[in-house]
Amino acid sequence: MRRKLSDRLRPLVESLPEDLKIVLLAAFALEERARKPFYQDRVRWAARTLDRDDRTVRRRIDEGIEQIAALAVAAAEPAARLYPGSGWHTEELRVTLALDQPVPEAFEFRRVIADADEIAVLDLALTLPVTAESGDSVHESDLGVDVFHGGVLTRRVMESSDRIGLSLRLPEPLRRGARHEVGLRFRANLREPRYVCVPRHPCDLFDLHVRFGERVPKRIVRQEKVSPADDRSRTGAVLPADDAGEVHVRFRHLEPGFAYGIRWD
């Protein structure tokens, strides 16, 4: 029972901002270093780790429990029911972005589920945002795309001034409920210091690793459910990079049309 409960709680906890994740991992004794027999000892461990007082940590634990309770309830509602008629939705999207390359590269691994019969094409897109003040413009040739597995790229078109539409023809049409995985690589110079996912179809999970390498920005911020056009937003939890110059964020139940990811200065 303990193992089953831990397996259910851990992904919910790990989807939270870093400070909430630490206090809940300690509160539920999911963190090896915080597996102490008494709750107060686990609170003290989290307080030392975050350099906060015990009262603040207890308050953050209460806030975190409310958030994972909401996530658990939302998880019981399938994405296809929330947004009917979309044809398919993403069950899992995992992206690894390497910014320490001559040209930034992103590896994208996506698992989709068909919500209708005869799904033969996935309509994907990628945005290379630019500010109005810059005067720059995006061209279809600015984005390099390689398909590693899961289909054939049949169409690339500018859908807007900064969004490039992609059509991926599947090896065979999907029936309702069928799953399919694709692997892609993108290469492009980023015009803005941010990387976000703006889904046009529902997305259950977005997992993002970003590698800055030796040039770690002064400030890295998590952005969740913000307007894609809000390129000046600096709100969100501040994310620390690890010793390898990397950050990791995870989002659940992404709403189509909103942006989820990170921004840095």
pLDDT tens digits, 222-243:
999 888 766 555 667 899 999 9
Indicate yes or no: pTM above 0.85: no
pLDDT for 71 equals: 75
108-125 pLDDT, tens digit each? 999 999 998 999 999 988
Question: HEC states along 2-23?
Answer: HHHHHHHHHHHHHCCCHHHHHH
Q: Which pLDDT belongs to residue 244? A: 93
| 237 and 248 Cβ atoms separated by less than 8 Å | no
Predicted pLDDT at 80: 46
171, 122 contact by CB (below 8 A): no
Both tokens of 51, joined, read: 């350099």
Asked if residues 17 and 235 have their Cβ atoms less than 8 Å apart, the reply is no
Nearest CA among 76, 79, 50, 77 for reference residue 64: 50
CA distance to 34, 62, 135, per residue, from 42 (Å): 5, 14, 53
User: What is the three-class DSSP state of 65?
Assistant: helix
Q: What are phi and psi of 30, to 5 degrees?
A: -85, -15
Residue segments in the chain with a per-residue pLDDT below the cut of 70 = 74-86, 129-137, 229-235
